[in-house]
Amino acid sequence: MMQQEQTYREAIRQRFLAVDSSNVADVLDTLGLPDQGLAPEFAPQSAEGARMAGWAYTIRGQMTPFPLGGDADKMKACQGLSPGEISVWSGDGEGICYFGELIAIGMKERGCAGALVDGGVRDLRWIAKQQFPVFARYRTPVQSIGRWKVNACQVPVMLRGATARHVKVEPGDFVLADEDGAIAIPAAVVEKVLAEAERLTSVEVSIRSELSKGLSLAQALAKYGHV
């Protein structure tokens, strides 16, 4: 990746960290993209990881019995991560974890900005010490080795959705997750969504300021309209 592109991507990522997923969801509604929110089960798995933003790097797997001894395809997939990307894990691995502490360390070493897991994770106490944000649907001590295997990376994946059964996430889409949940932003509208979300954020800041100075909620709504 060229340095100029990396600088641009990181600037976008930092700006997204200053807006809320709720504002992003509202903007997507106005663009005719109402089903980009991920299932409410996606939640931060440590206090250090309550907010993350980054470009989607997708990893897909499936339940399949195989001998113990590791998952070379998982390690290979993680080696493709670049700075500022979110590893987006999809698959059918109910009840098992997709990765733990050591994979998280490897991702962090490559500059990965966090992980979004449509499945389980473990070693949370140790991942938290790495200050590596992880949003996942559940936690479990049961490993994936011998049960669930990575079969592709950087392909379109389907994650469980909030208002639709699934949300399609493609490599290069943008992921934002915070205390309210997680949402996927198609690559084609990232800049447009960001600019409008920043505008809404600015309006909300003004409203909070005026409310703190004594303006009533009715007066604020009359002045600023619905936000």
Known binding-site residue numbers = 100-103, 122-123
β-sheet bridge partners, residue 81: none
Q: Which two tokens stand for residue 80?
A: 């493709």
Give the Å distances, CA to CA, from 100 to 84, 127, 134, 141, 162: 20, 7, 10, 9, 26
How far is Cα 148 from Cα 110, in angstroms, rounded to an integer? 24
* Cα 59 from Cα 176, distance rounded (Å): 17
Kindly report the number of other CB atoms within 10 A of residue 107's CB atom.
Answer: 24
Which of 123, 112, 105 lies closest to 46 in space, CA to CA?
Answer: 123
Q: How far is the CA of 146 from the CAs of 66, 68, 143, in angstroms? A: 5, 5, 8
User: Which residue numbers belong to the known binding site for substrate?
Assistant: 100-103, 122-123
